[in-house]
Amino acid sequence: MDQHKLTVAISSRALFDLEESHLVFESEGVDAYCRYQIEHEEECLEPGVAFGLVQKLLRLNLGLENQDQVEVVLISRNNADTGLRVFNSIQHYDLSITRAAFTGGQSPYRYVQPFNAQLFLSADPQDVSNALEAGFAAATILPSKSAVSPGDDQQVRIAFDGDAVLFSDDAERVFKNHGLEAFTASEIAAANDPLPGGPFKDFLAALHRIQAKYSQNEAPIRTALFTARSAPAHERVVRTLRAWKIRIDEAVFLGGKDKGDFLKTFGADIFFDDQRGHCDSARDHVPTGHVPHGVANP
């Protein structure tokens, strides 16, 4: 597989609405769950929180010179029998997903690496934690009423928090341990020193490789940074992205303001943040992935 391809691995519960069958699993066990899925395998599943994002990502191939630049693979705790309903639904919605791993109840994160995926999306927090610990970008897709069909807007809009997501949590640890004044002083002193990369740096770089094929106004992907930082702590962020030679299209320095309305204004297809409080606010407005990484997630 092309190492430069943008590849996203996704679980069935992030792609489709499987809450009803998941309740069967939790209340009656695995055997009842298997019977339920087989009995309903001809019934199409409703779209899940990340469905619109996946649909948009797959559409990118239609507008690229190399039509094999983006791939979505399914990695699921289902087995082949119960996974048949998922693939039937994939075919129903005409999603060009052809590769999959069904692990029969085992954590599927270990297949992220051989699929060369830069991102893993799942509804299972433990699977996400396992993937992050193994060095992969991963997020828990949270329930959200904001998940909608992409409609006519073809541009993929992806938003990120900064510290502990795009960047390491080094600066955030200073803030947590010593307070805002020490954090600000530390960031001013280190303004010319690029921040170490966080778990989503390589995913942002993969998005940038596609963006670089286009002028900024014509790119089919638009990225944004929404951070609680404010001036003067913003300078180190700007210089870090410059040192990485990675473009970020929009940067919003909120100084502690709630992120939800800003994300809605941006029109994010998904937002990634390490702090659950920010995620709970954001998911009322846009599809949201919690990144259980760093000092905010002991």
**CA angle in degrees (0–180, nearest 5) for 23-129-165:** 120
10 Å Cβ neighbour count for 36? 18
Task: Copy the structure tokens of residue 121.
Answer: 């999306």
Q: How remote is the C-alpha of 56 from its chain's centroid?
A: 14
CB 270 within 8 A of CB 142: no
pLDDT at 220: 92
DSSP state for residue 43 in the 8-state scheme? S
Q: Which residues pair with 158 in a beta bridge?
A: 223, 270
- Residues recognised as catalytic: 161
83: buried, middle or exposed (CB in 10 Å: 19+, 13-18, 0-12)?
buried
pLDDT at 139: 98
DSSP state for residue 257 in the 8-state scheme? -
pLDDT values of the chain reduced to their tens digit, one per residue, 298 residues: 455 789 999 999 999 998 888 788 878 878 888 888 889 899 999 999 999 999 999 998 886 565 678 999 999 988 888 889 999 999 999 999 999 999 988 899 999 999 999 999 999 999 999 999 999 999 999 998 765 555 557 899 999 999 999 999 998 898 888 888 898 899 899 899 999 999 999 999 999 999 998 888 889 999 999 998 988 889 999 999 999 999 899 999 998 899 999 999 999 999 999 999 999 999 999 999 999 998 888 7
Q: How remote is the C-alpha of 61 from its chain's centroid?
A: 19
Nearest to 45 by CA among 19, 69, 18: 18
Q: How remote is the C-alpha of 198 from its chain's centroid?
A: 14
Q: Which domains does the chain have, with CATH numbers?
A: 6-140 (3.40.50), 156-290 (3.40.50.1000)
> CB within 8 A of 150, min separation 6: which ones?
52, 55, 56, 59, 269
Task: Copy the structure tokens of residue 16.
Answer: 């489709």
Instruction: State how far the Cα of 40 lies from the Cα of 47, in Å rounded to an integer.
Output: 16
CB 56 within 8 A of CB 156: yes
Instruction: State how far the Cα of 112 lies from the Cα of 295, in Å rounded to an integer.
Output: 24
Nearest to 108 by CA among 94, 122, 92: 122
Which is it for strands 221-227 and 119-122: parallel, antiparallel or unpaired? unpaired
